[in-house]
Amino acid sequence: MLKVYACITEQHDIVLVAVAAVLCAIGAHTTFAQLHLAGQGNLQHRLRWGAVAAVTTGVAIWATHFVAMLAFDPGVPSGYDPAGTVLSLLLPILLSGAAFAIALCGPGVPRALGAGALLGLGVGAMHYTGMAAFEVAGLKLWDHGTVVVSVVLGVALTMAALRLGLAAQGPGGRLGAAALLALGICALHFIGMGAVTILPDAGGVAPAGAVTRDRLAALVGFAAFCLLAASLAAAVLTSQSRRRRKAEAERFRALVDAAVEGLLICDGETIVESNSSAQALLGQDAQGLVGRSLAAVVQAGELRQALLDPAGTTIETEIDDAQGRPVAVELVSRSILHHRRPHQVIALRDLRDRRRAEERIRFLAHHDPLTRLPNRAGFADRLQRLREVPGRAAEPFALLALDLDRFKVVNDTLGHAMGDALLVKVAHRLRAAVRSTDLVARLGGDEFAVVQFAPGQPEAATALAERLIDLLSRPFLIDGQVLNIGTSVGIALQPQDGVDLAELARSADLALYRAKSEGRGTYRFFETEMDTRMQRRRLLELELRTALAMRQFHLLYQPQVDVDSTSIVGFEALIRWTHPVRGVVSPADFIPLAEETGLIIPIGEWVLREACREAAGWPGAPFLSVNLSPVQFRSPGLVEAVRSACALAGFDPRRLELEVTESVLLSDSTGTIETLRALKEFGVRIAMDDFGTGYSSLSYLRSFPFDKIKIDRSFVCDVTEDGETAAIVRAIIGLGRSLGMRTTVEGVETQAQFDHLRAEGCDQVQGYLLGRPLAPEAAAALLKDGQPQAAAA
C-alpha cells in the first residue's frame, strides 16, 4: 500500500489525477443512468441502450486510464503502441457489453454479481493491455502480488457497484453505485500502477513507432470527455422525454378511462388499446383485450369490415357481455393517428339504458296504467305480433268484445275512485278466465276485448263467453260495499267474420250491440244479417237528413171524438215520410233512428210549426195533439220552439196538446218537470201518451198534473172479451177521474169497443171507427160537414 501511495504522490501529477478521477466518476454515473434507462423498455430498446452503456463504460475506463497515464511520470521517454492501445479500448467495451447483456436479460442477484465480475475483468483487461501497449525506454518490472490485489479489489468493487446499481430504485442508489464503480476503476488503475516499476534503459531513446505520449493523451482525454458528456446528456434528455411521455400517456389514459363510452383502438383487426368502460362492458381486463382480434367482440364479419373502414361508420347491433348475454350497443368508428400510424378507434355505446327507457315508453303507450292491460294500441300491436309467430298466422281465433253493464251507474253514483277500483278487479277476473296464450285488453272506459286462440269454434268461444259473463256477474266487494255489475259479450270469429282486426272488431261490436239490446248479461255471435241491417241503418240516417231538406215529410190528422156527444173535439198530428223510392215509410221505422241520432229535434220542430200552421184556421177551433219525443226534452230549446211555432202560425196555445210518454219522466225528472211546467204556464195542455205500456207507475201520474191520460191501443183489442183488461182500463179511467185528468182511448175499431168504453166512463176515443188519419184539407172539410159517420150510428 505504501508503494501505491508513494507511486501516486511521487510519480503522478496530482491535478491530472483529479481530472482522471472526475472523468471516471462522470463515466460511472453515465453508465448507471443509461443502464437504468435501458431497463425500462422492450427488447429492442434494451439492446440499444445496453450497447450505448457498454461503449460509454468502455470509453470511460479507457479515458480514465489515459488521463491518469498523463499524470504519470515514468521518468524515462515513453509512447504508445497503436495496436495495443486500440485493443485496450475494445476489450473493456466488449466485456462491459457482455456484462450488461447478462444484467439486462433479467433480474436477480447472481446475474448482477456475474455481470459485475465481467465488468471488473473488463477494467482489469483494459488496464493491463493498456500497460502492455505503454512503451518506455526501459524495463517494466511487475510485482505480481500487487497485480492480483488490484484485479481482485477492482472486480469486487465493480461487483458491488452493479449489485447496488441494478437493484437501485432511485437516483441515490445509482449515485452510490456510480461511486463504487468509479472507485473500482481508480483502485484497479492506481494499485496496478503501484505494481509496476520502471527501470530506465541506459540507451534512453523513445521506442520506435510509438506515438508521442503527451499529445495523444491530451487528445484522447479531451475527446473521451466530450463523448462522455454527450452520452450523459443524451441519457438525461432521453429519460426526461420518456418521463414526459409517460406523464402524457397517463393523462391520456385517465381521459380515455373517464369516457363513459367504451373505446377500442384497433390496428387492423387487432385491438391495441381499450379503456376501462370497454373492459367493464365486455367483462375483460386490459390484458384480456389487447392483442385480441376485433372478431372476439364483433362476430359478424361484414360489421367488422364496415367498422374498420377508414371512412368510419355507426352501427347498432348486439354484442355479448362477460356472461355471454347480448348487450345492445351502438358502435361508432373513426380513423385516427396513433403512434403516427393510422388506427381505427371504435366507440361502444351501451344502449341498454336507452332501450330500457324506450321499453318503458312503449309500455306506457301500449298499456292502460290502471289495469295494466294492453290498451287499444297495445292490443292491436300484441295481436299483430302473436299472429307473426310462425304457424300462428293461419290459426283461427275468436274476438270477444265486452261492455260492462251498469258500470256507468257505479261510476256516476259512487265516484270515479270506486269505478277505478272496480275496473282493476274486473281486469283481474278477466285474466283469470283466459288461458295464458289468450289476450285481454282494455279498449277504453268499460270496454274490454279478449282474443281466444282455440280450435273448435264456436263452442270454445261460447264456453269462454259464458265463463266471462259468470265471472263478472259475481258480486264485487269494495270498501265494505257490494257492487253488482255484469257484462254483455259480442263474438266475431276469424276468418269468417273478418280477416283483419278492424273488420273483426266491427263485427264483434255489432254482435255486442245486439247482445246489449237483447237484454244484457248475455252474448251474441256476429251474423251477416246484423251487418246488412247496420248498413241499412246508416243509409236510412243519411236519407233522413235529406228528407227534411227535400220536404219529404207531411202530416196527417186523426180525429179524436167526445164519447158523449160523438162530435170531433180534436185531431192528433201524425208524421208521414214519403220516400222517393220506397214510398211511404212508417214512423215506427224511422222515429227510433231519428231519436238515436238526434235528428228528432229538427224533425219535431218542423212538425210543431207545420201542424200549427195547417190547423190554425180550422173551423170550430178543435184542439191539436202533437207528440214529443223524450229526446226533445233533453234539448234546451223545446219551450222556445213551441212558443215560436204558435206565434208564427197565430195559433192559440190553449188549443195545443203535447203528448209525452212515461219515458220522458224516466230520465232526469226535475229538468223534465220544469220544462213541462214552463209549457203549461204558456197555456199548452199536456197528455200522458201510451199509458199502460211502459212502467205504468202511478208515481209518474202523480209527479205532474197531466191534463189527459191516453190509454194505449193494446188494451182496446180485448177490452170487450178479457175481464182482466177491462178491469185495468176501468181502473185507469177511475184513477184519471180521481186525479182530475180526462182519459182518451186509442185504437178503437169496433162499435162494441166504443160502447164498452162509453159505459166505463171514458172521455174521448180515437181510432179507425171514428176516422182514419186525414190530409189537412180533408180534416178541415170534415169539420165543416159535421160528425163522423160510424159513431153517429
Applying CB under 8 A, the residues found at the interface with another protein are 425, 428-429, 431-433, 467, 470-471, 474-480, 482
SS3 label, residue 449: strand
CB of 434 to another protein, least distance (A): 10
Closest approach of another protein to the CB of residue 466, in Å = 9
In the bound state with another protein, the residue whose beta carbon lies nearer, of 433 and 641, is 433
CB of 483 to another protein, least distance (A): 11
d(CA 576, CA 33): 121
Cell of residue 203, nine digits? 540507451
Distance between CA atoms of residues 188 and 148, nearest Å: 10
CB of 645 to another protein, least distance (A): 54
Q: Is 216 or 430 the residue whose CB approaches another protein more closely?
A: 430
Give least dist CB 486 to another protein, A: 13
Q: Which long-range contacts (CB under 8 A, 24 or more apart) does 239-243 make?
A: 239/33, 239/36, 239/37, 242/37, 242/40
Cβ burial, residue 76 (10 Å; 0-12/13-18/19+): middle
- C-alpha cell of 658? 203535447
Distance of alpha carbon 516 from the chain centroid: 41
Helix (H, G, I), strand (E, B), or coil: what is residue 452? strand
Spatial separation of the C-alpha atoms in residues 269 and 292, rounded to whole Å: 8
Q: Phi and psi (nearest 5°) for 690?
A: 50, 35
DSSP H or E segment with residue 306: helix 301-308
Of 143 and 470, the one with the shorter C-beta distance to another protein is 470
Distance of closest approach, residue 542 Cβ to another protein, in angstroms: 46
Q: How far is the CB of 477 from another protein (least distance, A)?
A: 5
Residue 2 in grid coordinates? 505504501
Cβ–Cβ contacts within 10 Å for residue 335, how many?
15
C-alpha cell, 205: 531513446
Share of the chain residues as helix, strand and coil, in percent rounded to the nearest 5 = 55, 20, 25
Terminal CA-to-CA distance of the chain, rounded, Å?
A: 179
β-strands 568-579, 623-627: how paired?
parallel
Q: Shortest Cβ distance from residue 484 to another protein (Å)?
A: 9
Give the DSSP H or E segment for 198: strand 196-200
Report in angstroms how near the CB of residue 568 gets to another protein at its nearest: 56
Shortest reach from residue 432's CB to another protein, in Å: 4
d(CA 128, CA 88): 8
Least CB distance to another protein at residue 428 (A): 6
Quote the cell numbers at residue 555. 202530416
- Cell reading at 12: 503522478
- Residue 368: CB minimum distance to another protein, A: 19
CB closer to another protein, 480 vs 723: 480
- Taking the complex as a whole, the smallest distance from the CB of residue 697 to another protein amounts, in Å, to 25
Question: Is the CB of 35 or the CB of 421 nearer to another protein?
Answer: 421
Which 8-state DSSP code applies to residue 793? -
Q: In the complex with another protein, which residue's Cβ is closer, 482 or 549?
A: 482
Nearer to another protein, 473 or 697 (CB): 473
Nearer to another protein, 427 or 540 (CB): 427
CB of 433 to another protein, least distance (A): 6
Report, in Å, the least distance between residue 524 CB and another protein. Answer: 21
Q: Minimum CB separation from another protein for residue 468, in Å?
A: 10
Alpha helices in 168-275 (DSSP H): 171-194, 213-258
**Pairwise CA distance, residues 533 & 514, whole Å:** 11
Task: Return the residue matching grid coordinates 512503451.
Answer: 135
For another protein, the closer CB: 346 or 472: 472
Which grid coordinates are listed for 706? Answer: 197531466
> Between residues 519 and 583, which has the closer beta carbon with respect to another protein?
519
Cβ distance to another protein smaller for residue 428 or 654: 428
Minimum distance from CB of 429 to another protein (Å)? 5
- Of the two residues 481 and 517, which places its CB atom closer to another protein in the complex? 481
How many Cβ atoms are within 10 Å of 789's Cβ, its own excluded?
Answer: 10
What contacts 705, CB < 8 A, 6 or more positions away? 680, 739, 740, 741
- How far apart are alpha carbons 108 and 115 in whole angstroms? 11
Q: Which is nearer to another protein, 289 or 398 (CB)?
A: 398
In whole angstroms, how close is the CB of 657 to another protein at the nearest point?
Answer: 47
Nearer to another protein, 241 or 473 (CB): 473
- Name which of 73 and 470 has its Cβ closer to another protein: 470
Closer by beta carbon to another protein, 487 or else 625:
487
- Among residues 3 and 429, whose Cβ is nearest to another protein? 429
Nearest to another protein of 400, 433 (CB atom): 433
What are the CA-CA distances from residue 441 to residues 110, 433, 449, 505, 574 (Å)? 82, 13, 5, 13, 48
Q: What is the DSSP string of 168-181?
A: --SHHHHHHHHHHH
Q: 20-40 burial, b if ≥16 CB within 10 A, otherwise e? A: bbebbbbbbbbbbbbbbbbee
Closest CA to 659 of 764, 516, 554, 584: 764
Q: At what angle do helices 144-167 and 14-38 cross, to 10 degrees?
A: 40
Separation between Cα atoms, residue 510 and residue 488, nearest integer Å: 12
Question: How does 662-683 read in b/e, with b if 16+ C-beta sit within 10 Å?
Answer: bbbbeeeeeebeebbeebbeee
